[in-house]
Amino acid sequence: MRRPKLEVADVFHRHGADWRQANAGHVSLGQLQVMSAIEQCRSAALGGHVERCENCDHSRIAYNSCRNRHCPKCQGMAAQHWLAAREADLLPVGYFHVVFTLPAEISPIAYQNKAVVYDLLFHTAGKRCSRSSPIPSTSALASAPPLCSTAGARQ
């Protein structure tokens, strides 16, 4: 696999220090640690080892990876494999991405009562999508105008 012309680490190396300074107090310690791991990944900062071909005696330095789950270098291939496995699970039908947004006023209630609020949300959303589905229904509610937002229909 060839190295891309520009990587996330390149952006962090060039602009990371200025960005961290401009956003001081608004970035969590965890986010700063991820940035640092990505910047150091596969560099001398994490150490490395020498790989040597036994046939031609060619050698090269291989630097250690950060193994951070957010690092595109470390997890890029794993992400591709995961996506391929999820695609294999899909049925050969059209899919829709449906988004339901709660009003901002409900946010504190949802945060404190996640199970109850999300159960209500999914139950209500499921009923609403069933009513606006193109599948024929004997329900009188099937003729209601659709409220579902179907962004990014997948064919």
For 79-109, the pLDDT digits (tens) are: 889 999 999 999 988 888 888 888 899 889 9
Domain assignment present for residue 20? The answer is yes
Higher pLDDT, 96 or 7: 7
Range of the domain at 150: 95-154
If 0-12 CB within 10 Å is exposed, 13-18 middle and 19+ buried, where does residue 72 land? middle
Q: Is the pLDDT of residue 45 over 80?
A: yes
Same domain, 36 and 99: no
Q: Is the pLDDT of residue 70 over 60?
A: yes
pLDDT score, position 76: 82
The model's pTM = 0.53
Same domain, 110 and 127: yes
Residues 6 or more apart whose Cβ sits within 8 Å of residue 109: 117
Same domain, 68 and 99: no
Instruction: List, in sequence order, every residue forming a beta bridge with 95; answer none if it has no partner.
Output: 154
Domain assignment present for residue 2? The answer is no
Same domain, 62 and 107: no
Higher pLDDT, 32 or 133: 32
Same domain, 149 and 100: yes
Same domain, 26 and 68: yes
Number of domain units in the chain? 2
Domain assignment present for residue 110? The answer is yes
